[in-house]
Amino acid sequence: MVAFVRQILHAYGEKHMHRAVRRWRTGAAVLLVGLVLAAFALTRARESGPEAAESGGTPTAHTDGTSLNASASPSPSPHTPVSSRAPTPHASASPSPGAGAASASPSTRPVCDNAHPALDVGVAAGGDIQAAIDRVAAAGGGCVNLAEGSWTLRRSVRMKGGVTLNGSGASTLLQGPTSVYDYPLIDSDGTVPQTNMTVENMVLDGRIPPSARTTDPDANNPYADAMGILFAAYRANHRHVLIKNVEVRHTSMGIHIKGTTGVTLDGVNVHHNGIAFWLHNVYLRRCSDVVIVRSRMNDSLVGTGLHVAGDSRNITITDSNFSGNNSSGMNIQDLPANVTIRGSRMIGNNGDGISAVGTRLVITDNQARDNADSGIHTWTGTGQVDGNTASGNKSENLDIHGHFSISDNIGH
């Protein structure tokens, strides 16, 4: 009997012992997994901590639709003074058809051209661009990065020195209202010299109807001041202006820069502007150290593609189009010094392809055809005209006056 009871107790104890062992093994396994996960999370936090601190962490959101980061390191794309930047070689012989501002997806946002940004500010669609510019300028300069989207401007966006206004490409649109207005979409304070202003990677649309153009030189046009970009210095020169990968359309005058040393227009597409004879696609006055490259200034409604006047000098124009304008493709006046026009196209303008005066004026390797007046017309000055192709122009292919050497032109 005793032996029988001992067998029962032994069996009962063994059963519960196995159950206890199984429970202990399960609990130990759960505890071990928890410890491993906690250790992994702690390691990731330690590894990512310095990187998060270096990048500025999570942007701080503002009620005006902007986000703000302090930049600890320079942008990977340096913004050197534009007067010292050499044009980048371009493989294409002409700008690609239909190209405007460079397009970009969120994963390939165009890099802000600012070498030493104190701040990077992001502005969501419809956010306050001016507040972001003011904040960045007050901090010592940097980047205002506009998201994809559109802004209808009820007043000018005023640029300030040291600020780069950088869009997301063709999907960033700044436009005028549909009613009559009389202010530029982007301007600057002309009473205070500004240094290093950049506008890039966006579209500006003034939305001025073609019916608003006036061909009477004495007529007042209510849209006359509704320009795309106006950077005009009156008391002392601005310095270093860069406009890059920007499309400007349907404004009274696309780009007007006055009193500035160091101007670069790179990859701009300025068209269907110039609604009166004194308004053009692009107008430079009292500008020096100018580089225009890979750009298009076409289809001005009344004016020229490019107009240069005043005490301007040291201008280089390469690989660009000046076609379909209601006046000349380009008009270089007031005897500027050191102007080079190379490798560009002037086609189908309702005036001269090139109308120019100047000292040390070099016109070489251009195409000038099917213009309503002369293909290449120099009125006076000194320099050289060589290697150009001029054909189908209704007046003369080459109409050269002044002291110019002429050689190797086709169509002379």
Nearest CA-CA partner of 217 in 273, 279, 272, 271? 279
Q: Which two tokens stand for residue 189?
A: 């304070």
Nearest CA-CA partner of 140 in 113, 119, 158? 119
pLDDT number for residue 298:
98
Q: Which two tokens stand for residue 151?
A: 């802004």
The torsion angle over the Cα atoms of residues 83, 86, 87 and 90, rounded to 10 degrees, is -170
pLDDT number for residue 236:
86
Q: Where are the beta strands (DSSP E) in 252-353?
A: 255-266, 269-271, 282-293, 296-298, 306-309, 313-318, 330-332, 337-342, 345-347
Q: Which uninterrupted H or E stretch holds 188?
A: strand 186-188
- Tell which wins on pLDDT, 274 or 107: 274
- Tell which wins on pLDDT, 158 or 10: 158
pLDDT number for residue 185:
98
- Whether residue 20 has pLDDT greater than 70: no
pLDDT number for residue 102:
44
Give the tens place of pLDDT for each residue, 319-366: 999 999 999 999 999 999 999 999 999 999 999 999 999 999 999 999
The percent of residues above 90 in pLDDT, for the chain, comes to 70
Q: 3-state class of 368 per DSSP?
A: strand
In contact, 285 and 310? CB cutoff 8 Å: yes
Cβ atoms within 10 Å, residue 26: 10
Average pLDDT of the chain is: 82
Residue 60 Cα to chain centre, angstroms:
26
pLDDT number for residue 407:
97
> Distance between CA 207 and CA 334 in Å, rounded?
32
Q: Which two tokens stand for residue 386?
A: 């060589």
Cα dist from 338 to 81, 150, 409, whole Å? 20, 40, 21
Question: Residue 83 contacts by C-beta under 8 Å, 6 or more apart in sequence?
Answer: 240, 261, 262, 289
pLDDT number for residue 52:
30
Please compute the mean of the pLDDT values over residues 197-203 and round it to a whole number.
Answer: 98
Give the tens place of pLDDT for each residue, 262-321: 999 999 999 999 999 999 999 999 999 999 999 999 999 999 999 999 999 999 999 999
